[in-house]
Structure 1
Amino acid sequence: MELLVAIMVGVLVAAAVHLMLARNVLRFLFGLILISNAANLTIFVSGRLTSESPPLIPEGDYAPLADAANALPQALVLTAIVIGFGLFAFALTLVYRTYQNLGTLNSDEMRLAEPVEDTPSDPSKAYIAYEADK
C-alpha cells in the first residue's frame, strides 16, 4: 500500500512542478496546492498505513498492545489541510483582483506594468539616483 501512495506522491509532485513552471499565475496556484497535498500525503504515510487497532493505550499500560498507526502525523496533516485551504482562498482572491486590475494572468505581461526608468541597468547609476533622491 505504501508503494502505491509513494507513486501517487511522485505523480502529484511531477504535475505540480509542471503547473508551477507555466507563466499563468492561476496554474502556478494550482501547482502550489498540488505540491502541498503531496507533502501532506507524505507526512500522513509516515505515521504508518495500517488497519490494525486504533492507537489507544489501555489503562495501566505505557504503549499500545498491538501495532497501531501514529496519531501525530494525522493531527499535523489535518492542521495543514485547514491552513492550506485558507492560503488557497486568500491566494485565489489575490489572483482574481490581479486579473481585474491588469486584465491578464500571464506573468510576462504583468511585468509590463513595472516602470522602466526606476531600474537602471548600471549599478553605479542606481546609487547616483538613490543619492539624488535623498
Structure 2
Amino acid sequence: MEILLALMIGTLYAAGIYMILRRSLVKLIIGIILLGNGANLLIFLLGRIAKGHPPIIPEGAETFLEAYSDPLPQALILTAIVISFGLQSFAIILVKRAHKVVKTDDLDEMNATDEYS
C-alpha cells in the first residue's frame, strides 16, 4: 500500500510541477492544487498506515506494544485542507478578475509593460 501511495505522490508532484510551468493562469492554479494534494498525501504516508490500531495506550502499559496510527499527521492534513481550500478560492477569484481586466490568461501577455485600466 505504501508503494502505491508513494507512486501516487510522485505522479501528483510531477503533474503539478508540469502544470505550474505552463503559460496559462488556469493551469497554474491546477498545478498548485495538485502539489497541495501531493503534499497532503506525503504527510499522511509519513504517519504510517496501521489499519484498526488506534493510538491509545492500553491500561497498565507504559508504551505501545504494536504499530499504531499517528494522529498528528492526520490533524495537520485536515488543517492543510482547509487552508488550501481558502487559497484556491482566492486564487480562482484573482484569476477571474485578472482575465476580466486583461482579456487573456496567458502569463507572457499579462507580463507586458502596457497599463491596463
Q: Would you call these one fold, judging by a TM-score over 0.5?
A: yes
CA distances 1:47-88 after superposition (whole Å, capped 9, x unpaired): 001113211123454333432111111111110011000000
Q: Distance in 1 between matches of 2:114 and 2:20?
A: 22
Structure 2, unmatched stretches of 5+, are none
Q: Name the SS of the counterpart of 2:91 in structure 1.
A: helix
Partner of 2:71: 71
Considering only CA atoms, is the larger Rg found in Structure 1 or Structure 2?
1
The share of aligned pairs that are identical, in percent, is 45
Q: Name the SS of the counterpart of 1:68 in structure 2.
A: coil
Q: Distance in 1 between matches of 2:114 and 2:66?
A: 62
Please, what is the CA RMSD of the aligned residues?
A: 1.5
Which structure has more RCO (C-alpha within 8 Å, separation ≥ 6)? 2
Normalising by structure 2, we get a TM-score of: 0.90
When residues 113 and 101 of structure 1 are mapped into structure 2, their CA distance, relative to the original with a 3 A threshold, is farther
Question: Runs of 4 or more off by more than 4 Å in structure 1?
Answer: none
Q: What is the number of equivalent residue pairs in this alignment?
A: 115
Partner of 1:7: 7
Q: How does 1:1-134 map to 2 (within 5 A)?
A: 1-114=1-114
Normalising by structure 1, we get a TM-score of: 0.79
Matched-pair contact (CA < 8 Å) for 1:52–1:66: no
